[in-house]
Amino acid sequence: MLELLTEAQAAAIAQVHPRTIRRLVDRGKLPALNFGNGRRKVYRIDPAALLNVQPVHLPLPRERHRRSQLPASIMGGVKLRD
């Protein structure tokens, strides 16, 4: 009998967040079977299909700056209180 993986198990194997697995399934990039009851989707993933998925390249998070660290040219010459 074929052993299917839950989203959490597939995510653990792929070392990604379970939401990433769900997004890949929803976009059609990862084939899965839907065992849901119509209201909620409960996917089961074939382990062989998981190995055939292309790596996901996510953009790195942007670096956030505090206003006080921004150069004066960006701030328009406004001086913040220290």
Distance CA 80, CA 19 (A): 40
Reported as a single tens digit per residue, the pLDDT across 4-36 is: 999 999 999 888 899 999 999 998 889 999 988
CATH number for the domain whose boundaries are 1-53: 1.10.1660
**pTM for the structure as a whole:** 0.61
Residue 73: pLDDT over 70: no
Reported as a single tens digit per residue, the pLDDT across 36-58 is: 888 888 999 999 998 888 766 66
pLDDT value, residue 14:
87
33 within 8 A of 43, measured Cβ to Cβ: yes
- Residue 3, helix vs strand vs coil: coil
